[in-house]
Protein backbone atom coordinates (compact mmCIF):
# COMPACT_ATOMS: atom_id res chain seq x y z
CA UNK A 1 0.00 0.00 0.00
CA UNK A 2 1.38 3.38 -1.00
CA UNK A 3 0.98 6.14 1.56
CA UNK A 4 1.07 9.70 0.31
CA UNK A 5 3.59 11.91 2.04
CA UNK A 6 1.37 13.37 4.80
CA UNK A 7 3.41 16.41 5.74
CA UNK A 8 4.13 18.26 2.52
CA UNK A 9 2.53 21.46 3.81
CA UNK A 10 4.28 21.55 7.19
CA UNK A 11 6.08 24.88 7.57
CA UNK A 12 9.85 24.74 7.68
CA UNK A 13 9.98 27.40 10.40
CA UNK A 14 7.99 26.83 13.59
CA UNK A 15 7.62 29.54 16.20
CA UNK A 16 6.73 29.87 19.88
CA UNK A 17 6.60 32.84 22.25
CA UNK A 18 6.75 32.42 26.02
CA UNK A 19 5.80 35.03 28.61
CA UNK A 20 7.22 34.55 32.11
CA UNK A 21 4.84 34.77 35.07
CA UNK A 22 7.50 36.11 37.47
CA UNK A 23 8.03 32.77 39.21
CA UNK A 24 8.72 29.50 37.38
CA UNK A 25 5.81 29.47 34.95
CA UNK A 26 5.30 30.56 31.38
CA UNK A 27 2.35 31.23 29.11
CA UNK A 28 3.37 29.43 25.93
CA UNK A 29 1.93 30.71 22.64
CA UNK A 30 2.40 28.69 19.47
CA UNK A 31 2.83 30.12 16.02
CA UNK A 32 -0.38 28.31 15.07
CA UNK A 33 -2.32 30.42 17.57
CA UNK A 34 -2.66 28.08 20.55
CA UNK A 35 -1.83 28.81 24.16
CA UNK A 36 -0.90 26.62 27.12
CA UNK A 37 0.93 26.92 30.42
CA UNK A 38 4.19 25.42 31.60
CA UNK A 39 5.21 25.52 35.24
CA UNK A 40 7.28 23.89 37.95
CA UNK A 41 6.07 22.21 41.11
CA UNK A 42 5.82 24.27 44.34
CA UNK A 43 8.88 22.35 45.56
CA UNK A 44 10.85 23.93 42.71
CA UNK A 45 9.39 27.44 43.07
CA UNK A 46 6.39 27.09 40.77
CA UNK A 47 2.63 27.11 41.20
CA UNK A 48 1.96 23.76 39.51
CA UNK A 49 -0.24 25.55 36.95
CA UNK A 50 0.91 23.49 33.97
CA UNK A 51 2.99 20.55 32.77
CA UNK A 52 6.75 20.53 33.16
CA UNK A 53 8.90 21.07 30.03
CA UNK A 54 10.00 17.43 29.97
CA UNK A 55 6.35 16.34 30.09
CA UNK A 56 5.75 18.44 26.98
CA UNK A 57 8.36 16.33 25.19
CA UNK A 58 6.35 13.22 26.04
CA UNK A 59 3.17 14.96 24.83
CA UNK A 60 4.92 15.94 21.60
CA UNK A 61 6.21 12.44 20.89
CA UNK A 62 2.93 10.74 21.77
CA UNK A 63 0.72 13.08 19.78
CA UNK A 64 3.07 13.09 16.78
CA UNK A 65 3.17 9.32 16.52
CA UNK A 66 -0.52 9.05 17.42
CA UNK A 67 -1.52 11.32 14.52
CA UNK A 68 0.63 9.25 12.18
CA UNK A 69 -0.80 5.93 13.36
CA UNK A 70 -4.40 7.13 13.10
CA UNK A 71 -3.74 8.41 9.56
CA UNK A 72 -1.90 5.24 8.49
CA UNK A 73 -4.63 2.93 9.80
CA UNK A 74 -7.34 5.10 8.22
CA UNK A 75 -5.57 4.91 4.84
CA UNK A 76 -5.35 1.15 5.31
CA UNK A 77 -9.14 1.26 5.84
CA UNK A 78 -8.97 -0.13 9.35
CA UNK A 79 -11.75 0.55 11.84
CA UNK A 80 -9.79 2.44 14.51
CA UNK A 81 -12.33 3.61 17.08
CA UNK A 82 -10.08 4.72 19.92
CA UNK A 83 -6.39 5.26 20.54
CA UNK A 84 -4.78 5.93 23.89
CA UNK A 85 -1.04 6.36 24.28
CA UNK A 86 0.58 5.98 27.68
CA UNK A 87 4.14 7.28 27.70
CA UNK A 88 6.87 6.74 30.27
CA UNK A 89 10.24 8.50 30.17
CA UNK A 90 13.29 7.36 32.14
CA UNK A 91 15.59 10.29 32.88
CA UNK A 92 19.31 10.35 33.61
CA UNK A 93 20.31 10.70 37.26
CA UNK A 94 22.65 13.66 36.63
CA UNK A 95 22.19 17.05 35.00
CA UNK A 96 20.81 17.84 32.50
CA UNK A 97 18.53 14.83 33.29
CA UNK A 98 17.87 13.98 29.64
CA UNK A 99 15.64 11.08 28.70
CA UNK A 100 17.66 7.88 28.46
CA UNK A 101 14.68 5.87 27.28
CA UNK A 102 11.03 6.42 26.48
CA UNK A 103 8.39 3.71 26.31
CA UNK A 104 5.15 4.22 24.41
CA UNK A 105 2.21 1.94 25.16
CA UNK A 106 -0.51 2.11 22.52
CA UNK A 107 -4.01 0.93 23.43
CA UNK A 108 -6.06 0.68 20.24
CA UNK A 109 -9.73 -0.19 19.91
CA UNK A 110 -11.22 -1.51 16.69
CA UNK A 111 -12.99 -4.46 15.12
CA UNK A 112 -10.47 -5.34 12.43
CA UNK A 113 -7.08 -4.34 13.85
CA UNK A 114 -4.28 -6.90 13.66
CA UNK A 115 -0.91 -7.07 15.35
CA UNK A 116 0.76 -6.87 11.93
CA UNK A 117 -1.17 -3.67 11.08
CA UNK A 118 -0.26 -2.06 14.38
CA UNK A 119 3.42 -3.04 14.27
CA UNK A 120 3.67 -1.71 10.70
CA UNK A 121 1.95 1.60 11.54
CA UNK A 122 4.06 2.20 14.66
CA UNK A 123 7.33 1.34 12.88
CA UNK A 124 6.44 3.60 9.96
CA UNK A 125 5.62 6.47 12.32
CA UNK A 126 8.64 6.14 14.60
CA UNK A 127 11.15 5.49 11.81
CA UNK A 128 9.88 7.70 8.98
CA UNK A 129 7.12 10.23 9.66
CA UNK A 130 7.28 11.44 13.26
CA UNK A 131 9.66 14.41 13.47
CA UNK A 132 9.71 14.32 17.26
CA UNK A 133 10.77 10.65 17.26
CA UNK A 134 13.44 11.48 14.70
CA UNK A 135 14.93 14.07 17.05
CA UNK A 136 14.61 12.08 20.27
CA UNK A 137 15.89 8.84 18.73
CA UNK A 138 19.31 10.50 18.40
CA UNK A 139 19.67 10.81 22.18
CA UNK A 140 17.50 8.11 23.75
CA UNK A 141 16.05 4.68 23.12
CA UNK A 142 12.39 4.63 22.13
CA UNK A 143 10.57 1.41 23.01
CA UNK A 144 6.96 0.53 22.35
CA UNK A 145 4.28 -2.04 22.95
CA UNK A 146 0.60 -2.21 22.10
CA UNK A 147 -2.66 -3.76 23.16
CA UNK A 148 -5.65 -4.24 20.88
CA UNK A 149 -9.16 -4.07 22.33
CA UNK A 150 -11.57 -5.82 19.98
CA UNK A 151 -14.89 -4.11 19.34
CA UNK A 152 -17.98 -5.44 17.61
CA UNK A 153 -17.74 -5.47 13.80
CA UNK A 154 -19.39 -2.40 12.29
CA UNK A 155 -18.98 -0.30 15.43
CA UNK A 156 -17.81 3.26 14.84
CA UNK A 157 -16.00 5.81 16.97
Section 123-131 average pLDDT = 97
Domain 52-157 classified CATH 3.30.300.20?
yes
Q: Give the pLDDT confidence of 20-52 residue by residue, as tens digits.
A: 999 999 999 999 999 999 999 999 999 999 999
Structure confidence at residue 139 (pLDDT) = 94
Section 86-109 average pLDDT = 98
d(CA 62, CA 132): 9
Q: Which helix (H) or strand (E) holds 131?
A: helix 131-136
- 5 pLDDT more than 70: no
Section 76-92 average pLDDT = 97
User: For residue 29, what are the CA distances in angstroms to 18, 24, 121, 134?
Assistant: 6, 16, 31, 24
Question: Taking the domains of the chain in order of start, what are their residue ranges?
Answer: 9-51, 52-157
Amino acid sequence: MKIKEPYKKIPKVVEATLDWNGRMGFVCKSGSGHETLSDASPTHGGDNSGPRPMEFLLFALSSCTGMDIAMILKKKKRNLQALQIKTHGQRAASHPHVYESITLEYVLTGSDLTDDDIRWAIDLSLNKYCSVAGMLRAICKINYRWKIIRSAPGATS
